[in-house]
Amino acid sequence: MATTKQIVLSGYYGFDNIGDEAVLFSILSLLKKEIPNTKIVVLSNNPEKTKITYGVESVNRWDIKTVAKVIKQSDILISGGGSLLQDVTSSKTIPYYLAIVKIAQFYKKKVVFYSQGIGPVNKSFSKTLMKMIINKVDGIYVREPGSKALLQEIGIKKPVEVSIDPVIGINLGREVKETKGAVQKPAVGIYLRPWQNEVHDENLLESMKEGLGELIAKGYKLYFIPMHYNQDREISKKLQDKLVQSGLGKASDIEVVDKMLSIEEVLDYTASFDMIIGMRLHSLIMAAAEKVPMMALSYDPKVTGFMKEIEQADYCIDSDKVTAAMFREKLEKLIDNKAQQKEELIKVFEAKKDKIYLPLNKVKELLK
């Protein structure tokens, strides 16, 4: 009787970040559909919750002894997706994820980078470590051309293929459910996050205020969706207060969805909106998956890169440089062209959907 294959999945999982959980949800959905009868073990910050949520085995990502044991028992390690290899948020991030890869290589296990976003990488130590370990990886798939260029610049000689973020395929075969307390139409979803410091955030909120007030005057209801609940809820409430205190909208015009949402709830909300304004990368990816017109507030090259990838760079603003006039201008353009953008998103999805399967096909190949 054939031995059951085992896959270990490493990423930023179990931290209640909807974007990264959506990555996990999407990868697991495809693995279960395309490679049935395979045992999957997820390295998680909250293994019990991960087990219950996704119906897979899970171990504590910080328990390196147990992590090494499950990797030793496995056939393949999947690293990704998400922005795992970057040293902006912490200098420990790259060493951690590459240490997991190194354990797999020590036990002579196959390793696949699954649609990762690479960078920014600023420290020479990070680059040296990446060059040393990634050149021994069996399959390298990144989610946009900029990540491929950065790996090649660092000195990665192995072939690097550009796939696409797995969340683009999150709605394959999925039915949209009506959100609880149904969204009042017309509606705009807003997905903010804090970034850098209070000066940046204050400038961003002030720049958005008047444009959002004009949306309310046109009859739109605003819904703020926190994707990383504790962080995003606070900045969303600040902007809600600014709008009400400035007389640009009533409390009934603006709703902060004040609870920790599941992935499917975020997807259902997103699909219900006429358009979205997204700062979180995966709010934009979910909107693209649901063919919902969007405008991006880019705080990171990965956001700009994604908008270029889906051919919507004209609707992207740098959050560091945004002004009230710039925000209103982009917003008016989106309102005027949202039907056209929806058609463009449908065409882009059809043209790129095969890329969703590139890393998956490599995993299937290596398991044989």
pLDDT tens digits, one per residue of 120-156: 999 999 999 999 999 999 999 999 999 999 999 999 9
**pLDDT confidence of residue 333:** 97
Domains of the chain with bracketed CATH: 6-163 (3.40.50.2000), 187-352 (3.40.50.2000)
User: Is residue 114 scored above 90 in pLDDT?
Assistant: yes
Q: What is the band of 180 on the pLDDT scale with cuts at 50, 70, 90?
A: low
User: Is residue 175 scored above 90 in pLDDT?
Assistant: no
**pLDDT confidence of residue 171:** 76
Q: What is the band of 185 on the pLDDT scale with cuts at 50, 70, 90?
A: confident
What's the mean pLDDT in 8-30? 95
Q: Which of 81-85, 159-163, 322-326, 332-336 has the lowest mean pLDDT?
A: 81-85
User: Is residue 176 scored above 70 in pLDDT?
Assistant: no
The residue to which tokens 């992590």 are assigned: 67
Comparing 184 with 206, the larger pLDDT belongs to 206
Q: What is the band of 172 on the pLDDT scale with cuts at 50, 70, 90?
A: low
Record the pTM: 0.90
**pLDDT confidence of residue 138:** 98
User: Is residue 223 scored above 50 in pLDDT?
Assistant: yes
**pLDDT confidence of residue 258:** 93
For residue 289, with 0-12 CB atoms within 10 Å meaning exposed, 13-18 middle and 19 or more buried, which class applies? buried
Give the tens place of pLDDT for each residue, 259-295: 999 998 999 999 999 999 999 999 999 999 999 999 9
Listed residue (253, 252, 184, 256) closest to 213, CA to CA = 253
CA torsion through residues 340, 342, 343, 348, sign: positive
**pLDDT confidence of residue 1:** 40
**pLDDT confidence of residue 368:** 87
Q: What is the band of 179 on the pLDDT scale with cuts at 50, 70, 90?
A: low
**pLDDT confidence of residue 182:** 73
Give the tens place of pLDDT for each residue, 231-267: 899 999 999 999 999 999 999 999 999 999 999 899 9
| Contact indicator for 150, 119 with CB cutoff of 8 Å | yes
